[in-house]
Amino acid sequence: MTDPVIDLGKYGDAFRVDPHPVYAELRAQGPVHRVRPPGSDPGYSTWLVVGHEEARAALADPRLAKDGRRIGVLFQEDGLIGRHLLGSDPPEHTRLRALVSRAFTPRRVETLRPRIQEITDELLDAMLPYGRADLVTSFAYPLPITVICELLGVPEMDRTEFRKLSTEVVAPASPESSYDAVVRLAAYLTELIEDKRCAGPSDDLLGDLVRTTAEDGDRLSPSELRGMAFLLLIAGHETTVNLITNAVHALLTHPDQLAALRADMSLVDAAVEEALRYEGPVENATFRYAAEPLEIAGRAVDEGDPVMICLGAADRDDARYPAPHDFDIHRDTRGHLAFGHGLHYCLGAPLARLEARTALRTLLDRAPALASDGPPGEWLPGMLIRGVRSLPVRW
């Protein structure tokens, strides 16, 4: 018997604006479904995991491959960008992560704390005198893009163009525009890496990755360097932009929670974790593929089938979190999947948390009358990144 395919496109624009009622409807029927994402070809479908327990298990299941080559598929982007953590499985993933972790250490992230505070203050110095602003343009975007570009060693003059390209990769207007953005980013990163190689020793992360060598002499190849730079640049800022924006948006639309945080700013860490659970910046993990026939929650998944694990749906599963659609900064958020789980747990989670906590605490401290200044901009298209294009605020 063939599993019925649920066409998510039938929900129209309402699904992009707020997918959570649809995910709740699906979850009430079961934790795993075969779906057609909005805008997909008529014959296309993928498995969608919406239950928390099932999502957590699937994220750590070695039978679900990230590397398409295990099912005989080679993606165009692989040849353009190069191998990276999100598109590899052990032992390749183990090797790549070990090499990157030698340079991208917790100590390195901690040394960024003063600079992150400095950038945050500079942005607010420029923004606050105006009395109103688009929080995305003036604050939530420039903070993480400045941090990750300084960390990696991307020249300041290149950052505006880079932002356009990265947004087109993660929330494309069309498959064609996404591919074009990948082509242009690949060319840019190839040139940047060559500049780092020729420039000699430097104190930025990309320069370190060029020179990082394991005890056995192993090091990243040119294509692997390009792939890792691509992943760190995109994931290192695009998700944090939307984490900051979504956290502020949630607080402004839940005035009781904003008041509770203002009354006790020691809750800022908890507020960030609840924002990650309630409206995390990654709605669905990047695709996995069944490397062999398997079952997920009793559903037969054939070899080669694509599988989407919906982090946003899993983190609103009432079997895991009571009253999951309530934004509650006093909630116990332990176990949320906003940064994934297992081997592919987000390498940049400590940096994202540090930036979001610094941004939220400083913004609320310096703008005590912060309030919404109209409806947010449109929600980003696609099912990967969850966030709005603009967030008008005043103070």
Q: What is the pLDDT of residue 1?
A: 45
Dist. CA 155–CA 62, nearest whole Å:
39
Contact 113, 354 (CB under 8 A): yes
Tell me, what CATH number does 154's domain have?
Answer: 1.10.630.10
Number of structural domains in the chain: 1
Is the CA virtual torsion 374, 375, 380, 381 positive or negative?
negative
Please, is 343 exposed, middle or buried when counting C-beta atoms within 10 Å of its C-beta (0-12, 13-18, 19+)? middle
Please tell me whether residue 6 adopts helix, strand or coil conformation: strand
Contact 204, 347 (CB under 8 A): no
Q: What is the pLDDT of residue 79?
A: 66
Residue 192 C-alpha from the chain's centroid? 23
Q: Which domain holds residue 323?
A: 5-394
The model's pTM is 0.92
In order along its 395 residues, the chain shows pLDDT tens digits of 467 999 999 999 999 999 999 999 999 999 999 999 998 988 999 999 999 999 999 999 999 999 888 887 766 566 678 888 888 999 999 998 988 888 888 888 999 999 999 999 999 999 999 999 999 999 999 999 999 888 888 887 677 777 778 878 877 777 778 888 888 888 888 888 888 888 777 778 888 888 876 667 778 888 888 888 888 888 878 899 999 999 999 999 999 999 999 999 999 999 999 999 999 999 999 999 999 999 999 999 999 999 999 999 999 999 999 999 999 999 999 999 999 999 999 999 999 999 999 999 999 999 999 999 999 999 999 999 999 999 999 99
Dist. CA 186–CA 308, nearest whole Å:
26
